[in-house]
Amino acid sequence: MPEALLMYAASTQDANLLYRTRFQVGDPVFYMEIGGRTLLLLNDLELNRGATEARVDEVLSLSAAEKELKDEGFTKHTIADVVARILEKRGVDRAIVPASFPIQMADMLRGKGVPLTYRKDPFFPERTVKTEEEIGHIRESIRHTEDAFARAWAAFQETEIRGNELWYRGAPLTAEAVKRIIDGHLYENDLLATHTIVACGEQGTDPHCRGTGPLRANESIIVDVFPRSMKTGYVADMTRTWVKGKASPELKKIDAAVKQAFDAAIRTIRPGIDSTEVHNAVKKTFDDLGFKTEKRDGKPVGFFHGTGHGIGLDVHEMPPMGARGAKLEPGMVITVEPGLYYPGVGAVRVEDDVVVTRDGCRNLCSYQKNLEIA
Amino acid sequence: MPEALLMYAASTQDANLLYRTRFQVGDPVFYMEIGGRTLLLLNDLELNRGATEARVDEVLSLSAAEKELKDEGFTKHTIADVVARILEKRGVDRAIVPASFPIQMADMLRGKGVPLTYRKDPFFPERTVKTEEEIGHIRESIRHTEDAFARAWAAFQETEIRGNELWYRGAPLTAEAVKRIIDGHLYENDLLATHTIVACGEQGTDPHCRGTGPLRANESIIVDVFPRSMKTGYVADMTRTWVKGKASPELKKIDAAVKQAFDAAIRTIRPGIDSTEVHNAVKKTFDDLGFKTEKRDGKPVGFFHGTGHGIGLDVHEMPPMGARGAKLEPGMVITVEPGLYYPGVGAVRVEDDVVVTRDGCRNLCSYQKNLEIA
């Protein structure tokens, strides 16, 4: 007896559903895959749009399915009855669901006698290897991100240094103002950047700090942007670190080390290896140069995050590239993002997106990586 | 023995977690509530930010909890072991999770001997009744939405009619252009509008059609905007229907009926009643005026969606206000959105957000509801 793949999700929040159906829907819907045939179960309001927009073999009407159940005498039924009946009619005797499948639907369906097992991420392993079309979508997101970096860079160029303050068009230049320049440009080009990081000085030494308030001269400013196309759903993920004015000798050494580690990662990436090897190449570069990773005053310093991760319809997807890794294959698109963080000195991270090729990798990004902005 | 509330979610996608912690986090984290005490389990990267930003009693370090397990001899453990141990140590013998709790974590925790039951939405019933602070956040989102409507209206005023075409600043006025005016204004004010509807003529007769392409003179144009504040998370949800030029007599009658139904809904809303009564008042208004709801050529026409729904951190939350209802209470914030849809004639929907008061309701919106734009 066949088994079904079963999802219950809103594609605006769930990349797996968007990947499989290319149908944008904001409320959760049921998706089934039975013997290679793909189906969406939609309410009357979504039925027309689904029939024209969703890349599925069949769109089922929820109200028609409910009517059928009523006609058979089921006066009180739930959505689980409807789904269980559809699966039964098509000869399915068990279903595989994503790890994120909601417990309520799981318990209800199990209660109706549908055995469910979850599949660990990735639900669609084929998502990890991108098609040419998908790489084109990612490149498009990268192109706009690079334009956004160029606009922010130009704003810094126009910025005046007064003591350690930065003044831009008559006001102190803030993290918020730089985010507005970047996110605004992306939004105008149909990309959504929601948690852009612009983190100056000490703020930047916490890699998850998004950054707020006035930016200062002669300190590191980490700018990390990961927008998602509102048209295609595909993301870019890039980071640059800038200093308006003069970087200290220590910060310049950190910057040089990060770029050396970046190059080591790029040289290491090739199909067949485990991505942890790339991470180890970055760690070794830092170790060899004497940049220690340790805890100081209870806070981690040095290089204490992964070297990268897959991108696609999600900002973080397979493969990971840190202490945990996965075998690299041609067509995987991954970030390369070494960084060093030293409170009291500053932080530097650079990040590009690369595609694994048959004999190495190709960097999809080309925006310059200069540290100092005059 | 106490029971725990348990969530595993990213607050950027899960309003319950955001509601309880006010902590913006993009990757899933565990939240526990034990005997009134609230806890977040965070990895090292989020620990500092969580300690300063999250409104919880305690922030637990995931790495410290893992180290403890290792020290006790558990060399191979999963996140489920960590959570099960924390619950056990605090004397918890069962946990209640939201309906959306992921099956993987559910099955893993159950496998570790933690009995889980899900609570149907709303997970936090108190979310339904808004505090003054929350109503303030919603009003703020409404204020910007009304400014966005005013900008779009002004663009229509500036628009020139050529035959049945609309021309704005040298180009045909499209649904996309109007969305750009509205969404752009909202984005500049830190509100995110993702699926704004601008649906002209026949497009508008499908309430879920988002609308595309050139807009035309003398036809109904439904504009439905539901942005979310990127600062507070609270939404507004408003709809206006406009005609650039002259509306047909039939469309004017539809418009008058929708506004009459809107007023009937407002008059009906008061605490203690079931919200279905409000929906029935709208249906009765349409019935009395002779506007039939039925299927024509397999497509629903007339009034075939709910009259409204709660709003807050989600665009759709409790209470519903349609065939299914709930008892209205002071402090609930609900949309009122009657509409009529007749292919061949057009569609009209108006929508405001109101708060239930002790003796009725107060409309939080004040933007004008004129149909025709000269």
CA distance A359 to chain B (A): 33
Q: Assess whether pLDDT exceeds 90 at residue B363.
A: yes
Q: Assess whether pLDDT exceeds 90 at residue B45.
A: no
Q: A79 with A6: CB under 8 angstroms?
A: no
Q: Give the pLDDT confidence score for residue A264 in this predicted structure.
A: 98
Whether B179 and B224 share a structural domain? yes
Whether A21 and A160 share a structural domain? no
Whether A320 and A287 share a structural domain? yes
Choose from A183-187, A362-366, B73-77 the range with maximum mean pLDDT: A362-366
Average pLDDT, stretch A49-61?
95
ipTM (interface pTM):
0.82
Question: What percent of chain A has pLDDT above 90?
Answer: 91
Whether B107 and B185 share a structural domain? no
What CA–CA distance (Å, rounded) separates A48 from B7?
36
- Given an 8 Å threshold on Cβ–Cβ distance, is A104 in contact with B99? yes
Boundaries of domain holding A172? 129-373
Q: Give the pLDDT confidence score for residue B370 in this predicted structure.
A: 98
Q: Give the pLDDT confidence score for residue B121 in this predicted structure.
A: 86
> Closest by alpha carbon to B134, among B205, B269, B232, B5?
B232
Q: Give the pLDDT confidence score for residue A123 in this predicted structure.
A: 94
Residues near B141 by beta carbon (within 8 Å), at least 6 away in sequence: B191, B227, B228, B229, B232, B234, B235, B236
Average pLDDT, stretch A31-47?
93
Average pLDDT, stretch A164-192?
95
- Which of A101, A207, A209 is closest, CB to CB, to B103? A101
Q: Assess whether pLDDT exceeds 60 at residue A1.
A: no
Q: Give the bridge partners for A220, in sequence order.
A: A243
- Given an 8 Å threshold on Cβ–Cβ distance, is B208 in contact with A184? no
Q: Assess whether pLDDT exceeds 60 at residue A103.
A: yes
Q: How many C-beta neighbours within 10 Å does residue B254 have?
A: 26
Query: How does pLDDT run across B301-315, given as a tens digit for each residue?
Result: 999 999 999 999 999
User: Omega before B122 cis (within 30°)?
Assistant: yes
Burial code (b: 16+ CB inside 10 Å, e: under 16) for A29-48 equals bbbbbbeeebbbbbebbbbb
Domain C-terminal end among B104, B123, B142: B123
Arithmetic mean of pLDDT over chain B: 96
Q: A124 with A16: CB under 8 angstroms?
A: yes
Average pLDDT, stretch A195-210?
94
CA distance A12 to chain B (A): 10
Question: What percent of chain B has pLDDT above 90?
Answer: 91
Whether A89 and A23 share a structural domain? yes
Question: What's the total number of domains in chain B?
Answer: 2
Q: Assess whether pLDDT exceeds 80 at residue A23.
A: yes
SS3 percent helix, strand, coil of chain B, rounded to 5, is 35, 30, 35
Whether B220 and B135 share a structural domain? yes
CATH code (residue B164):
3.90.230.10
Token pair recorded at residue A61: 């009407």
Average pLDDT, stretch B370-374?
97
Q: Give the pLDDT confidence score for residue A246 in this predicted structure.
A: 97
Q: Give B-chain residues touching A299 at CB under 8 angstroms.
A: 48
Q: Give the pLDDT confidence score for residue B1 in this predicted structure.
A: 56
Rg (CA), chain A: 24
Give the confidence band of A87 by pLDDT, cuts at 50, 70, 90: very high
Arithmetic mean of pLDDT over chain A: 96
Domain C-terminal end among B93, B123, B153: B123
CA distance B290 to chain A (A): 23
- Given an 8 Å threshold on Cβ–Cβ distance, is B44 in contact with A206? no
Q: Give the pLDDT confidence score for residue A27 in this predicted structure.
A: 87
Task: Enumerate chain A positions whose Cβ falls within 8 A of a Cβ in B.
Answer: 12-13, 24, 26-27, 44-46, 48-49, 97, 99-104, 106-107, 116, 118, 120, 183-184, 187-188, 192, 194-195, 206-209, 230, 299-300, 304-305, 315-316
Average pLDDT, stretch B82-91?
95
CA distance A360 to chain B (A): 30
SS3 B335: strand
DSSP A157: H
Whether B256 and B356 share a structural domain? yes
Q: Nearest-CA residue of chain B relative to A183?
A: B187
Q: A101 with B103: CB under 8 angstroms?
A: yes
Q: Give the pLDDT confidence score for residue B208 in this predicted structure.
A: 81
What CA–CA distance (Å, rounded) separates B197 from B178?
10
Q: Nearest-CA residue of chain A relative to B116?
A: A103
Q: How many C-beta neighbours within 10 Å does residue A226 have?
A: 23
Whether A161 and A108 share a structural domain? no
Q: Give A-chain residues touching B202 at CB under 8 angstroms.
A: none
Average pLDDT, stretch B260-270?
98
Q: How many C-beta neighbours within 10 Å does residue A292 have?
A: 12
Q: Give the pLDDT confidence score for residue B44 in this predicted structure.
A: 84
- Which of A103, A209, A315 is closest, CB to CB, to B101? A103
